[in-house]
Amino acid sequence: MAVTPQNATPAAAADALQREQSVAKHLFFGDILEENLFPFPQIRAKDRENLGAIVDAIDEFLGSKKKEIVEYDRKGEQPAEYIQALREMGLFGLIIGEEYGGLGLSNGAYARVLAQSSSHDSATSVTVGAHSSIGLKGLILFGTAAQKQQYLPKLASGEMIAAFCLTESGAGSDAASVKTHAKKQPDGSWLLNGEKIWISNGGIAGFYTVFARTEGEGGKMTAFIVEAAWPGVSHGHHEDKLGIRGSNTTTVAFNDVRVPAEALLGEEGKGFKVAMAILNNGRTGLGGGAVGGMKALIKLATQQAKDRKQFGKPIAEFGLVREKIAQMTIDCFVAESAVWMLAHYIDNDVEDYSIEAAMSKVFASEAIQRACYESLQIAAGNGFMKEFPYERYTRDSRILSIFEGTNEILRLYVALSGLKDVGASLSGLRNAVASIFNDPIKGFGVLSGYASRRARQTSGWGTDKILTQLSPDLQKAAKIYEKSVVELANASDALLKKYGKGVTDQQHQLKRLGDIAIDLYVGLCALSRAASLEKADKVNGAQAASIAYVFAKQARRRIARNVRGIGVNEDARIESVAGMIVDVGKYPWDVL
Ligand SMILES: Cc1cc2nc3c(=O)[nH]c(=O)nc-3n(C[C@H](O)[C@H](O)[C@H](O)COP(=O)(O)OP(=O)(O)OC[C@H]3O[C@@H](n4cnc5c(N)ncnc54)[C@H](O)[C@@H]3O)c2cc1C
């Protein structure tokens, strides 16, 4: 029986999953993979039990530290006793298995915890998140039993805090170009040299996951576990930053550090894969944090709008203020849906969720920045004052589109990963056509696959299973995605045919494609969630459906603009303006 919003149980979403398939990749083929989208996943019973207590404890503790958090932001430092309190609350053991003394939370529950801490203070979430999402994640994903036994208990208690050391002065987005290197010694150990920059928790960590170039295999990157206490390891001063100021950020240097053979993490030469797996797996933490921040902003701005009277009434009664409150809510609902759908994929062993992870990160990180702008605008003068938290949220959220992969790189990643499979199918088709007389069976397989894709592109999705069971609002939203996904597939085909492999250099076009795919993915997650809520939540369910409908309409307008832009655009002129300014190095006009 097909699983639908109507017959969903908590386990139904996991039962339906096609683990070897990616929703995002299907989108580029004009296909909506219903099995991996419906029904919307529900939180596991065990997580629900744990979460209640943790969320309350976070509210109680961070709620009581309001003044101190402002102080840490001003001074740019979380004092040792604050970190100690986080330890005592168990916040460093969130994702570490119970057998090592941790709480063993799922990815979804972990994201929910970071949402709660971020609703009070993003810098605290970065301290906790840099430890779990990226600092020790490599050990969980790739560590040997002995490595886990050695380190996880200390990491769970927070006796050791973890950090992730990838970025260098010459290697930011181009992470594969790291210069830090490790030379194998005759006894099998390694000699590590180099310097990492902007490392979150760099100055308070005892455990570093370090990426270094190793000899052999063409000097590929390898991941290592390095302890801060080992001779030759040092860190710089705490950087003075725009936002998340309390979170510790330093350089970390390695000077002839002797790294034992047993400290190699994963396989030699496979460090880039390790780094990407960590970042992909960790993205729910960042997304959850963004959602928590948005919820706090919506609450603050709503209170402000109700309290503040102008022209004889609360500003909450003015359409332009109400529009901001509604849009923040829509953005938050969509981001939350996308992040928890991603957590569901990770928790249920979907093989490749890297595109969905990138999409959720881009959407959530930009949604919270829009929410910061609009909530500060509602508070207006008050919003500009340090006495109120809007300016801190604004500064704190800015980092989210920079670290763990910039949003530019992630948009390109989304588009290029989607195109890769379409490209493979098209070139498969070309080869098949060329050799069809020599190898008709092979040729037939490829052609029929292509034909069925084409058929799906025109026949739509789910009309028999999901679509007919949705409310009219959600049916309309579904129709919008049904139409738009075909346009994404057609646009992908067209770009590949026009540019071939050269499409990788067409960044303006790739951005359009990435944005279409992001709108589709996050919108479908919201549609799925609204479909479940409509049934389960009689009070707010209809509003959830309305939100999913409004987002679909907004997404449709953006998608239509992007599709048009792929055919007709000013890219050449934009390139030309940029070229001129880059050449002269400044804005060349003045009215003088
Ligand atoms: C507060 C903070 C904490 C951090 N924590 C950590 C940490 O714990 N561990 C760690 O390893 N790193 C950390 N980082 C580093 C962070 O991940 C990098 O800043 C990020 O990867 C971007 O690198 P970059 O700043 O060198 O920017 P660059 O790579 O120099 O990029 C500059 C700009 O160019 C764009 N760009 C670059 N290449 C392309 C391209 N091919 N196409 C289009 N646009 C492009 C970028 O999107 C960006 O807008 C942290 C950074 C900060 C600020």
- The pLDDT tens digits for 314-372 are 999 999 999 999 999 999 999 999 999 999 999 999 999 999 999 999 999 999 999 99
Distance 413 CA to ligand 1 centre (A): 15
Range 237-265 burial, b when 16+ CB lie within 10 A, else e: ebbebebbbbbbbbbbbbeebebeeebbb
The pLDDT, as a whole number, for residue 44 is 85
**Minimal-distance CA residue to ligand 1 atom 26:** 172
Distance 400 CA to ligand 1 centre (A): 11
CB neighbours of 423 closer than 8 A, spacing ≥ 6?
A: 496, 501, 503
Contact 274, 138 (CB under 8 A): yes
The pLDDT, as a whole number, for residue 453 is 57
Model confidence over 131-163: pLDDT tens digits? 999 999 999 999 999 999 999 999 999 999 999
DSSP element (H, E) containing 310: strand 309-310
Percent helix, strand and coil across the chain, each to the nearest 5: 65, 10, 25
Distance 169 CA to ligand 1 centre (A): 10
Residue 2 structure tokens: 């097909």
Contact 218, 210 (CB under 8 A): no
| Ligand 1 binding pocket, CB closer than 6 Å | 130, 163-167, 172-173, 198-200, 241, 249, 399, 402-403, 406, 408-409, 507
Instruction: Give the CA angle between residues 353, 402, 346 to the nearest 5°.
Output: 20
The CA distance from 144 to 263, in Å, is 10
Contact 493, 501 (CB under 8 A): no
**Minimal-distance CA residue to ligand 1 atom 48:** 406
The pLDDT, as a whole number, for residue 437 is 42
- Which ligand 1 atom sits closest to the C-alpha of 167? 11
Distance 199 CA to ligand 1 centre (A): 12
The CA distance from 200 to 532, in Å, is 38
- Which ligand 1 atom sits closest to the C-alpha of 409? 47
- Token pair 């729910």: residue: 284
Contact 364, 320 (CB under 8 A): no
Model confidence over 382-403: pLDDT tens digits? 999 999 999 999 999 999 999 9
**Minimal-distance CA residue to ligand 1 atom 25:** 172
**Minimal-distance CA residue to ligand 1 atom 29:** 173
Catalytic residues: 404
Residues of the chain under the 50 pLDDT cut: 1-7, 433, 435-448, 459, 463-464
Distance 394 CA to ligand 1 centre (A): 19
- Which ligand 1 atom sits closest to the C-alpha of 165? 11
- Which ligand 1 atom sits closest to the C-alpha of 135? 8
**Minimal-distance CA residue to ligand 1 atom 2:** 198
Distance 173 CA to ligand 1 centre (A): 5
Cα of first residue to Cα of last residue in the chain, in angstroms, is 74
Residue closest to 205 by CA, chosen among 242, 151, 267, 241: 151
The CA distance from 352 to 554, in Å, is 29
- Which ligand 1 atom sits closest to the C-alpha of 211? 11
Contact 39, 563 (CB under 8 A): no
Residue closest to 153 by CA, chosen among 208, 227, 102: 102
